[in-house]
Amino acid sequence: MMTYKAPDGHIIESLPYPQEVTYTCECSDIVNGTFISYETTEDTSVIGIKQIKITRVVSGNSMTITIVESSEQELQEYININTSN
């Protein structure tokens, strides 16, 4: 499990892959659009890392945040890309 802090201070907890968590809150001073980011941290698993994909959809003064953990395959691809040199 990983956590992500929404603009209103709410802490969103991820669920095991492939489950998604969605949270909607009010926001201001953020342009409309869809914003995708990733957070990666070390882990005690065999792969050694865990990661969440955060999708934020802003429309007006509302933000819907969807979080999904990365699969083992996605984590391995991330490691391969970032250690290829």
> What digits encode the pLDDT tens for the residues 34-54?
999 999 999 999 999 999 999
How high is the mean pLDDT of the chain? 95
Query: What are the boundaries of each domain within the chain?
Result: 3-82
Q: How confident is the model at residue 83 (pLDDT cuts 50, 70, 90)?
A: confident
Check pLDDT > 80 for residue 84: no
The pLDDT > 90 percentage for the chain reads 92
Q: Report the pLDDT value the prediction gives residue 4, as an integer from 0 to 100.
A: 97
Q: Report the pLDDT value the prediction gives residue 85, as an integer from 0 to 100.
A: 62
Classify burial at 65, counting beta carbons within 10 Å of its beta carbon; exposed 0-12, middle 13-18, buried 19 or more.
buried
Classify burial at 14, counting beta carbons within 10 Å of its beta carbon; exposed 0-12, middle 13-18, buried 19 or more.
buried
Which residue carries 């979080």 as its tokens? 67
